[in-house]
Copies of this chain bind each other. A is one copy, B any other.
């Protein structure tokens, strides 16, 4: 049985994702698909629009055979560690033959050349990034410039690394190199809607960002249903009607505000992602929120934003503070080890066979039921779920502790 791995967020799952899914199966000639999916908190430092169980349901309906949770220490990271965590999970299964990822360029060979170069010359690259940062530009821009210096000119013309999926793809390839993984990469050129594209420009395809915008603007719901499969629409409707969404940062603003007010700058500086005096900037910025209006995360982000700190960097920082993740919780040493467990969120009939196989091949424990003696990383996922559940209109204890007793979702075909 040939198995292809994909790395996803499904926030929410839409027609573009279906296209990617079908193409992945086709070009890899795979019989089964394993999806590594972010839990409740995503790469850009945001909560997902509906929780991980609802998004797992969508993935299973589409045809994914096994959905594994990307631990929260990796899920809200810049491309490098997000990619490393996800590839380490696919690699740990011991049964993934191919990785298939979308990229704006679709040029696997250039990305692979670059990945090898970066793996060989990490120090030179690091120095180059630092030099670019000194110019006062933000990290993504410095990163792109540094890569363009290292990559031979004629190739870099064809590779725009300011495109997020090119960068992610590059880091998947670097991770495969670093892990000496036998996974064979494949890429699909992304169609139509750019990752961050805010506006809808097509009858059937829109980016997840654009879809979320439509949802939060509470336009006529049939207006966004055309961009997603029917099962996504139905899961979303059910979740929204049950008061479990749509979730964005504002749904957690009370918790964030309390947290920010309760900590000292020194304590703040111990949180992961809080770098370069950001703790003082945070403490000074809070009183700037005007007295006549209520607090919002958007307003705070607007006040905090500088040339240097991108919105994504700031969101990730606020998220780590909210989730109570200290620098000592997320060290380079821990990250380098890769994910130490595979938390199963759901599976199909075929996925059940994969799991049986994985009992022999998996390099780490497979978790289908959380018991009390879990590792500290899994504990972080569980706490993240509890905190996420506080964003619901009516949080119940059932949802706060769902991770403890929720068995994997099973879709019979």
The interface of chain A, by Cβ under 8 A from chain B, is 254-255, 257-259, 261-264, 267, 286-287, 289-295, 322-324, 376, 379, 383, 386-387, 390, 394-398, 400-401, 404
| Complex alpha-carbon distance, A38 and B383, angstroms | 35
* A386 in contact with B292 (CB, 8 Å): no
| Complex alpha-carbon distance, A261 and B258, angstroms | 14
Q: List 22 A-B contacts (CB under 8 A).
A: A254-B258, A255-B255, A257-B390, A258-B259, A258-B390, A261-B386, A261-B387, A262-B322, A262-B323, A262-B383, A263-B324, A264-B376, A286-B397, A286-B400, A287-B397, A289-B397, A290-B397, A291-B396, A294-B395, A294-B396, A295-B395, A295-B397
CB distance from A210 to the nearest CB of B (A): 31
| Complex alpha-carbon distance, A394 and B254, angstroms | 11
CB distance from A387 to the nearest CB of B (A): 6
| Complex alpha-carbon distance, A263 and B294, angstroms | 27
Q: Which of B267, B292, B383, B397 contacts A291 (CB 8 A)?
A: B397
CB distance from A322 to the nearest CB of B (A): 8
| Complex alpha-carbon distance, A226 and B76, angstroms | 58
Q: Nearest CB to that of A386 among chain B residues?
A: B261
* A387 in contact with B262 (CB, 8 Å): yes
| Complex alpha-carbon distance, A257 and B395, angstroms | 11
Instruction: Tell me which residues across on chain B come within 8 A of A387, comparing CB atoms.
Output: 258, 261-262
* B291 in contact with A261 (CB, 8 Å): no
Instruction: Tell me which residues across on chain B come within 8 A of A390, comparing CB atoms.
Output: 254, 257-258, 261
| Complex alpha-carbon distance, A400 and B293, angstroms | 12
| Complex alpha-carbon distance, A289 and B267, angstroms | 31
* B324 in contact with A262 (CB, 8 Å): yes
- Since A259-B262, A295-B397 are in contact, a sample of 12 more A-B pairs with Cβ atoms closer than 8 Å, ordered by chain A residue number, is A261-B390, A286-B397, A287-B397, A287-B401, A287-B404, A291-B398, A292-B396, A292-B398, A293-B396, A294-B394, A294-B395, A294-B396
Closest CB pairs A-B (n = 4): A291-B398, A261-B386, A262-B324, A255-B258
| Complex alpha-carbon distance, A259 and B267, angstroms | 15
* B261 in contact with A400 (CB, 8 Å): yes
* B396 in contact with A261 (CB, 8 Å): no
| Complex alpha-carbon distance, A387 and B258, angstroms | 7
Instruction: Tell me which residues across on chain B come within 8 A of A322, comparing CB atoms.
Output: 262
Instruction: Tell me which residues across on chain B come within 8 A of A395, comparing CB atoms.
Output: 294-295
Known: A254-B255, A287-B404, A404-B287. A261 touches B397 (CB 8 A): no
| Complex alpha-carbon distance, A48 and B386, angstroms | 29
Instruction: Tell me which residues across on chain B come within 8 A of A324, comparing CB atoms.
Output: 262-263, 267
| Complex alpha-carbon distance, A396 and B287, angstroms | 10
Instruction: Tell me which residues across on chain B come within 8 A of A398, comparing CB atoms.
Output: 291-292
Q: Nearest CB to that of A389 among chain B residues?
A: B261
Interface centre among A267, A376, A390, A397 (most CB of B within 10 A): A397
Instruction: Tell me which residues across on chain B come within 8 A of A293, comparing CB atoms.
Output: 396
Instruction: Tell me which residues across on chain B come within 8 A of A263, comparing CB atoms.
Output: 324
| Complex alpha-carbon distance, A349 and B397, angstroms | 54
Known: A254-B255, A404-B287. A379 touches B261 (CB 8 A): no
| Complex alpha-carbon distance, A401 and B254, angstroms | 16
Interface centre among A261, A295, A322, A390 (most CB of B within 10 A): A261
| Complex alpha-carbon distance, A257 and B401, angstroms | 13
